[in-house]
Chain A
Amino acid sequence: MYIDFSAFINVKKVKIMRTLFKIVIPIVAIAIIAGSVLAYQYFQTPQQAITINGAGATFPFPLMDKWAAEYHKIKPNIQINYQSIGSGGGIRQYTVKTVDFGATDAPLTEQQFANATNTLHIPETIGGVVPTYNLPGTSSGLKFSGEVLANIFLGKITKWNDTQLQALNPNANLPSHDILVVHRSDGSGTTYVWTNYLSDVSSQWRTTVGKSTSVNWPTGIGGKGNEGVAGIVSQNPHSIGYVEFIYAKNNNLPWGFVQNAAGQFVEPSLETFTAASSAAAVTLPKGDQSWSTVSIVDSLVNNTQATGAYPITSFTYLLAYKELNVVPNMNQDKAKALVQFLWWAIHDGQSYSADLAYVPLPQQVVVNDEATIRMITFNGQQLYTG
């Protein structure tokens, strides 16, 4: 069907409209462009905006996100842009210098450290990994030793009423039921810390499975992310898995107590993580040395003096180059801004940790970090002079 609209249109009006459009549209366009240029200049003039890019571990992301927002309030011209792409990706981007700083849950290996010369390790916060389980009739507080955890994850302890578990938990009601082991399927710092611990406490684990962000699991099924593991555990009675402390706390998952070298069964909490990292901080290397062997887990495994320390605790690190002029697009102002942000993060930034269930750095670690940040230079000139 065809309708002739011309009857409704006033020809004169159309002509006027056309000329109007010919004039009005260019004027509006010019005004918009000019306006935005002016506005851009106006907002730019007071202080040069600086964007600092970082990439790496997902574990510290909520804290990093908070830091970026809070720091932006203090220094409105500085934008911290952190992409939580995983430690592996973060280390790669940091090594090829497409980001200004990196973040990783595990320290750089000797090889990685050699590839990224003059890297500084700056512990930024502390986390813990906790065993979580679904045992009908039992809430938090089941006791585990390292050996028992290793044997469960090796598939050597297959029933909940195994004598080793009963010996640790004489009062618990342990059923004669198969244990379903649940682990992370995605590569993660959480798995690294967990397998690091199991390697330390079990020679069989060390020689057959090892420690890594992903391993060849002897038994069990894998869930993606903390939420995947927690999902499988909560839906399957008689299962056991491991998750980040923060995730377990925020989701009220039951967790186990783990025996430390001093023989205590320790509940995971901010206090016991602090105790663990304080005990480990005594022997930290200098910021520009290799940190490949640094591990709170390793340092605690034979430390019978570390009372109240939860044994599956770990640092997570920021990575920065000692001489920042190696990073493309770096300049004096940006380098200075980065160093000031790092300084702020290990001091004032730590006050945001507890609310997000991260562990504030103990004083010894902060002192170590301060010395590290003072090493950072741009074109040979020291940047932090506080």
Chain B
Amino acid sequence: MKNFRKPAFFSNFKSKIIRNFRKPSTGDDAFKLLTAGFASSIFILLGLMVYELVRGSELSIQRFGIGFLTGTKWDPAISQVFGVLPLILGTLVTSAIALLIGVPISLGIGLALSEYAPRRFGFVISFLVELLAAIPSVIYGLWGIFTLIPFLRNGVYPGLHTALGFVPLFSGPIYGGGVLTGGIILAIMIIPTVSAISRDVFSAVPNAQREAAISLGATKWETAKTVVSYARAGVISAVILGLGRAIGETMAVTMVIGNKFQVLPASLFDGWYTMAAIIANEFTEATYDLYVNALVEVGLVLFFIALIINVLARLIVWRSLRLVRGIAKE
């Protein structure tokens, strides 16, 4: 269809009928403007955020430049030198652990709900999983300190230590809190997001796909694999949303991770630190301007890391969508 009146962005919002019987309708136009306004407010919001973060970290950007990203020292007391490399690593690694543990469980939940579970049972499970999402993170943190840590420290980690102690990752002293504990808490926290979205994308897979698989003699398991592969793009989106939550999570992590500022921990049982955690920990008591600026710059770095990850994820989703469409065309 030719479209010479409107930019493509808006033309999709109207049906053909309205365009063919064009009547002057102020209500429609007003509503269109309103929604366009809301949509563009996101640009303003993001722009303001970046502007404020950059302005708020001016001193520290001038003082440390790019060295802020590669610096491995955080010393507010004596030298007043700030560097965030350990925090970046800590954030990425704990989030990766969270994905490693949380994503398979979440996909399992999603598949069970969309493919296997009877409707009533599925309803109960969905409800409980969504309940997990409603728990405030400080409650996860307290639960981590008083329940999860003692349990892991006495029940799980010693076993891991004896079984896998020859691997450096699982050697060293056990405190209870640490990198692995932080990852586990995060895994629990991303399960609601990832499982809810993956359930929805699996349910959205056309039944024709399942029927085709079954008619070719596929088992239930093989059918499920077809479903997952068809819903690949959606699954990636779900994982990215989970990752977003894990990267930005603050309170629960800082309460269990041990808050040890070091480039690399000695093992998974050792303490580490994340970007969000150090902001939450030190912002209120940061007593001089450079210190405050450095903490704001941590926020800026966190913002850009989240941005980069989201862009990458978007690219992956597009690529796999094109792949699916390509197959369809053939």
Q: Which residues of A from 52 to 94 have beta carbons under 8 Å from B?
A: 85-89, 91
B281/A186 in contact, CB under 8 A: yes
Does any Cβ of B come within 8 Å of A180's Cβ? yes
Query: Which listed residue, B145, B260, B288, touches A231 by the CB 8 Å rule?
Result: B145
Q: Which residues of B contact A89 (CB under 8 A)?
A: 283-285
Query: Which listed residue, B146, B150, B287, touches A88 by the CB 8 Å rule?
Result: B287
Interface 1/0 per residue, A194-227 and B, CB below 8 Å: 0100000000000111111111110011111001
For the complex, count residues of A whose C-beta is within 8 A of B: 40
The CA-CA distance from A224 to B259 in the complex, in Å, is 8
B78/A221 in contact, CB under 8 A: no
- The stretch that binds A, out of B68-76, B222-230, B300-308, B309-317, is B68-76
Q: Which residues of B contact A350 (CB under 8 A)?
A: none
Q: Which residues of A contact B285 (CB under 8 A)?
A: 86-89, 186-189, 213-214
Please name the residue on chain B nearest to A88 by beta carbon. B285
Query: Which listed residue, B76, B153, B254, B255, touches A235 by the CB 8 Å rule?
Result: B153
The CA-CA distance from A89 to B287 in the complex, in Å, is 8
Does any Cβ of B come within 8 Å of A264's Cβ? no
Query: How far, in Å, is B147 (CB) from chain A's closest CB?
Result: 11
The CA-CA distance from A89 to B286 in the complex, in Å, is 8
Does any Cβ of A come within 8 Å of B176's Cβ? yes
Q: Which residues of A contact B261 (CB under 8 A)?
A: 216-217
Q: Which residues of B contact A228 (CB under 8 A)?
A: 145, 255
The CA-CA distance from A106 to B145 in the complex, in Å, is 30
Please name the residue on chain B nearest to A236 by beta carbon. B175
Q: Which residues of B contact A248 (CB under 8 A)?
A: none
Q: Which residues of A contact B146 (CB under 8 A)?
A: 231
Query: How far, in Å, is A48 (CB) from chain B's closest CB?
Result: 33
A221/B175 in contact, CB under 8 A: yes
Does any Cβ of B come within 8 Å of A379's Cβ? no
Interface 1/0 per residue, B269-280 and A, CB below 8 Å: 001000001001
Please name the residue on chain A nearest to B254 by beta carbon. A224
Query: Which listed residue, B141, B150, B255, B284, touches A187 by the CB 8 Å rule?
Result: B284
Does any Cβ of B come within 8 Å of A278's Cβ? no
Please name the residue on chain A nearest to B255 by beta carbon. A224
Does any Cβ of A come within 8 Å of B188's Cβ? no
Interface 1/0 per residue, B253-267 and A, CB below 8 Å: 011001111000000
Does any Cβ of B come within 8 Å of A232's Cβ? yes
Query: Which listed residue, B77, B271, B281, B282, touches A209 by the CB 8 Å rule?
Result: B77
Among B277, B280, B285, which residue has the most Cβ atoms of chain A within 10 A? Answer: B285
B176/A232 in contact, CB under 8 A: yes
The CA-CA distance from A232 to B255 in the complex, in Å, is 10
Q: Which residues of A contact B284 (CB under 8 A)?
A: 85-89, 186-187
Please name the residue on chain A nearest to B141 by beta carbon. A224
Query: How far, in Å, is A211 (CB) from chain B's closest CB?
Result: 6
Does any Cβ of A come within 8 Å of B149's Cβ? yes
Please name the residue on chain B nearest to A180 by beta carbon. B175
Query: How far, in Å, is A181 (CB) from chain B's closest CB?
Result: 10
Does any Cβ of B come within 8 Å of A173's Cβ? no
Say yes or no: A187-B259 contact (C-beta < 8 A), given A180-B173, A221-B175, A221-B177.
Answer: no
Q: Which residues of B contact A87 (CB under 8 A)?
A: 284-285, 287
Query: How far, in Å, is B94 (CB) from chain A's closest CB?
Result: 15
B77/A221 in contact, CB under 8 A: no
Does any Cβ of B come within 8 Å of A151's Cβ? no
Q: Which residues of A contact B175 (CB under 8 A)?
A: 180, 221, 232, 236
Interface residues of A (CB under 8 A from B): 85-89, 91, 106, 109, 111-112, 178, 180, 185-189, 195, 207-217, 220-224, 227-228, 231-232, 235-236
7 smallest CB-CB distances across A and B, nearest first, come from: A187-B285, A86-B284, A222-B259, A185-B259, A210-B77, A212-B77, A216-B75
Give 7 CB contacts A-B under 8 Å. Answer: A109-B287, A109-B288, A180-B175, A185-B281, A222-B260, A224-B281, A235-B150
Beyond A213-B76, A216-B75, 9 extra complex contacts between A and B, CB < 8 Å: A89-B284, A109-B287, A111-B288, A185-B277, A186-B282, A207-B78, A210-B78, A223-B177, A231-B146
